[in-house]
Amino acid sequence: MTGDEQNIKILFFGDLVGRPGRFAVRDFLNGTFVSSNTLQPFNPSTFTIANVENASHGFGLTEKNYNELSEYGIDCMTSGNHIWDKKEIFNYIDKADKLIRPFNYPENTPGVGSRIFETENGVKIGVINVLGRVFMAPVESQWTVVKDEIERLKSITPVVIVDFHAEATAEKICFGKFCSELGVSAFLGTHTHVQTADEQIINNTGYITDAGFCGAAESVIGMDYKTSLNRFTTVIPERYDVADSNVVQINAVEVEINQVSGHTVAIKRVFCYADKSKKEEENEK
């Protein structure tokens, strides 16, 4: 990262999966996450975003967990197709001023698909959450609905972040290039829970196909292996359980953006993991 005072640093966490993901992010932000590898380049960021659609036992977000994540220091929470899985979401989404649901849901859907946030230093940051359509439930076409919204956000601030929650890699890459031509500052893919190694700057836009996930490392994208195996081998519906693992991981992306131009000047992946059992052993000594 450049260290230029005109730039702001935005830290984006990939999908938080259940309590392991929430607690890993909590520890990471408060400085108690003891990394077992050497890839922990975390520095205090100006603004923190996390995708939270899987934060409450792997499906949806409870109001209690929303409040906890706010207390951990997360400034903005994006989501995806699972945001509706906890039905209490309808009771609080319209008053949850840090939470964004996908923009391309039909008109009159509860919640909002984009927000303007303001940092303590007065920097305005626009964030828009968009849902893909390939291999996903049908929603409004992102190609036709986001252009005007991105232009609206850019009329307020040059710093605009897109969380594109989608299944297909080709759709993410193509839509990322499309959004870069519209002048967004960063385009960060979510949903598939596997961090890709293609972070880059495209047309001054910070880009990654998928930011990955935060949660149990010894798992199947955050979920229990045996439950996942049963679903694949028997094809009988069985509810997924969040994995219980001593090893937790953080997948995130740090983007440095010039607050005047809105251009990304640096981007890097964050991948680190911690063994909670070793930490407990040290505490016992």
pLDDT of residue 116: 98
For residue range 214-258, what is the model confidence (pLDDT) as tens digits? 999 999 999 999 999 999 999 888 888 999 999 999 999 999 999
Q: Nearest CA to 103 among 131, 134, 133?
A: 131
The CATH number of residue 230's host domain is 3.60.21.10
> In whole angstroms, what is the distance from residue 255 CA to residue 166 CA?
20
Q: What's the pLDDT score for residue 283?
A: 47
**Crossing angle between the packed helical segments 18-30 and 63-72, to the nearest 10 degrees:** 20
Assigned domain for 272 exists: yes
Contacts of 2 (CB under 8 A, 6+ apart): 256, 265, 266
Using alpha carbons, select from 224, 196, 201 the residue that is nearest to residue 212.
196
Tokens of 184: 């967004």
Rg (CA), the chain: 18
What positions carry a catalytic annotation? 82
CA 275 – CA 9 distance, rounded (Å)? 28
Query: pTM of this prediction?
Result: 0.93
Instruction: State how many domains the chain has.
Output: 1
Query: 11-31 pLDDT, tens per residue?
Result: 999 999 999 999 999 999 998
Asked whether residue 12 is domain-assigned, the answer is yes
How far is 285 from 282, CA to CA, in rounded Å?
A: 5
Does residue 258 lie within any of the structural domains? yes
Give the Cα separation of 11 and 251 in Å (integer). 11
Report the greatest alpha carbon distance in the chain. 60
Q: Give residue 237's pLDDT.
A: 83
Return the closest-CA partner of residue 140 out of 165, 168, 106, 166: 106
Alpha-carbon distance of 64 to 251, in angstroms, equals 23
**Would residue 105 count as lying in a domain?**
yes
pLDDT recorded at residue 281: 46
Can you give the residue range of the structural domain that contains 209? Answer: 7-284
Inside any domain, residue 168: yes
| 201 in Cβ contact with 207 (< 8 Å) | yes
Query: What angle separates helix 142-154 from helix 169-181, to the nearest 10 degrees?
Result: 40
Q: Is residue 75 included in any domain, yes or no?
A: yes
- Per-residue pLDDT, 70: 98
pLDDT of residue 238: 81
Which residues, 6 or more positions from 222, have their beta carbon under 8 angstroms from its beta carbon? 15, 17, 18, 20, 21, 54, 58, 193, 213, 215, 216, 242, 243
The list of the chain residues with pLDDT below 50 reads: 39-41, 281-285
Tell me if 2 is assigned to some domain. Answer: no
Whether residue 155 lies inside any domain: the answer is: yes
